[in-house]
Amino acid sequence: MGATLPSGGGSGGSRRRRSRRGGGQMSEINVTPFVDVMLVLLIIFMVAAPLLTTGVPVQLPETAAGPLPAEEEAPLALTLGADGALTLQETPVADDELIPRLRAIAAQRTDDKLFLRADGAVSYARVAQVMGALNAAGFNDIGLVTSTGGPDFGASAVE
């Protein structure tokens, strides 16, 4: 039978090992509260996201184009309704007031991106007139907003 000597140089084994039950520090991370908070935030964002869309109802044409990359600040949105009326963000605007308002807003922004949402029932001539006026006023970074799921005219067959 063997005997062991206590380590610690004559302390006689006065050092005790702290056990988990003895109130020692716990070195594990409890992630349950973190997961609970993240799930609540996920539900909040899932409910709130559909409410953040612009409130002007338009029937967007469907195309096969992909989405544009995300921006740092919310882009300007110009909506051309089915009746040909213009709406800047959510405010109706007359044709002759559009460019002065856009210039005033653009002077306060760092991004000059403008999204044009046009109803599918609006004539191509009206959309071209609005885009031409925007271009003549110096707004050259115009993105056309469409719905996905439209015809791709054979683009998916090319690999």
pLDDT, tens digit (0-9, with 9 covering 90-100), for 74-131: 778 889 988 888 988 888 999 899 888 888 888 887 777 888 888 888 888 888 888 8
| DSSP 3-state of 62 | strand
- Predicted local confidence at residue 159, as pLDDT: 53
Lowest-pLDDT choice from 19-28, 45-54, 101-110:
19-28
- Predicted local confidence at residue 49, as pLDDT: 80
- How many of the other CB atoms lie within 10 Å of CB of 111? 13
Which architecture characterizes domain 54-148 according to CATH? Answer: 2-Layer Sandwich (3.30)
**CA separation (Å) from 141 to 67, 93, 108, 114?**
15, 20, 16, 6
d(CA 69, CA 3): 72
pTM greater than 0.75: no
CB 85 within 8 A of CB 119: no
Domain boundaries, the chain: 54-148
